[in-house]
Amino acid sequence: MKSISQMTMRPVLVFAVLLGLLLLIDGALLVDGISRRKVEAITLARLEVLTGALGLTDLAVSTEARYTRHPAVSDPIAPFMDHPGAIEHFPTGAFWLPPSR
């Protein structure tokens, strides 16, 4: 008969179980991602029709400033054009790089 100390798993096995659990979660996320991608394909077809039919040039992610709403058709100077000495003050400006021409 084994004593309790002999019955405890060696650390490598405990670690392997933990790693296996984490990879199982990642596997579930992967499977869910594949099913989401199928839904995404339907949405993408709609987005393509909208872009073609309305001649859209930009993503509608941030609507606070003209140059972050439509960076593709804005000049790099646009954030500083509102008045002399204007500084770029919109939070979304921190996320976007000025478009290169």
Partner 1 sequence: MAQYNIEKQLNILDYALSSLWRRRLKSLSVLLVFAAVIFLLASFQMVTQALSDKAGQVLVHTPEITLQKMSAGRQEAFPLAYKEQLAGIFGVRRVVPRIWGYYFDEVRLANYTVIGMDTAEMPEGDRLDSALAGGRMPRLEEAGRVVIGHSIKKGLDLGGRSTFSLFRPDLSLKPFEISGEFSQHTDILTNDLMVMTLADARDLFAIPADQVTDLCVYVANPKEIDTIARKISDALPAVRVLTRPQIQKTYQVVFGWRSGFGSICLLAALAAFVILAWDKASGLSPEERREIAILKVLGWETRDILAVRFWESVIVSGLACILGITAAYIHVVYFSAALFRPVLMGWSVLRPELHLLPSMAAGDILLILAFTVIPYLAATVIPAWRSATVPADSALGG
Q: Which residues bind partner 1 (CB under 8 A)?
A: 10-12, 14-15, 19, 22-23, 25-26, 29, 33, 36-37, 40, 43-44, 46-57, 59-66, 68-73, 75, 77, 81, 90-97, 99-101
Report the alpha-carbon distance of residue 94 to residue 88 in Å, rounded. Answer: 9
User: Is 71:58 a contact under the CB 8 Å cutoff?
Assistant: yes
**Least spacing, CB of residue 40 vs partner 1, in Å:** 5
**Least spacing, CB of residue 3 vs partner 1, in Å:** 19
Report the alpha-carbon distance of residue 54 to residue 58 in Å, rounded. Answer: 11
